[in-house]
Amino acid sequence: MENFEKLLAIVRRKAVYDRNNPWYKGPESYLHGLKDEVDEVIEEIPRQRGAYLEDELGDLLWNSLNAVIALEKAHGITLESVLARACRKFESRLSGIEAGRSWQEIKEEQKQALAREHAAGANR
């Protein structure tokens, strides 16, 4: 995870730089880039060029992290809260399917729990 921490530090430095540039349109700047990067990863897979695939996956991770950091400022979330929520969500899903439950049933329960959390005003 050392490299993740290094990349995150670079992303945080870049966030300061980006906010002061006229091209910056908020988190959407990176979200549009994510769509393009997903297409590039998909295009690279059948070519079976490991270095290029790693490069494109790195671009996808870069834009994802930039989007989260931009959303921290705009919507009051934190990278840590996003990671914690993702861990809870996917641990629950995986544990559920390992126990024989259906993916759809688990997802529906999670949607309902999220709606209750939102309605209660917990978090955003």
Specify whether 2 is located in the same domain as 61.
Answer: yes
Report the SS3 class of residue 9: helix
Instruction: Tally the domains of the chain.
Output: 2
Out of 58, 77, 96, a domain closes at 77
pLDDT tens figures, 98-118: 999 999 999 999 999 999 999
pLDDT confidence of residue 122: 54
Give me the domain span that covers residue 8: 1-77
Residue 89 scores a pLDDT above 90: yes
Token output for 97: 């399917």
pTM for the predicted model, two decimal places: 0.84
Neighbours of 70 (CB within 10 A): 22
As given in the structure block, the two tokens for residue 1 are: 């995870």
